[in-house]
Amino acid sequence: MDNSSGNFNILKPGKPGDTRELSETALDKLNLAGKYDSYSRLYEMDGLPWEIQSKLTKPTGETFFILVCLGE
């Protein structure tokens, strides 16, 4: 079976109400890239604002966050 996208998960652009699970490291990278507004507490992905909805700690000890797209 040929996988034309390789082993990568291709994310479609977000739309209002969509959710994404991101690692703490991924959020740190967005912050360093200037994609976090500390005043509104929103991240920018796909040109849209995303808000942290919840925080998860997996059995491995890794921390992940569920973000929800707020739209335009």
Is 34 part of any domain? yes
| In a domain? residue 29 | yes
- Is the predicted pLDDT of residue 65 greater than 80, yes or no? yes
Q: Which pLDDT score is estimated for 15?
A: 84
* 6: confidence class by pLDDT, cuts 50, 70, 90: very low
Tokens matching residue 17: 């109400």
Structural domain span for residue 30: 19-69
pLDDT at 10: 53
Per-residue pLDDT of 13-51, as tens digits, reads 778 899 999 999 999 999 999 999 999 999 999 889 999
The DSSP secondary-structure symbol of 2 reads -
Residue at 36 is within a domain = yes
Answer whether residue 50 is part of any domain: yes
Is position 2 within any domain?
no
Query: What does the pLDDT read at residue 4?
Result: 44
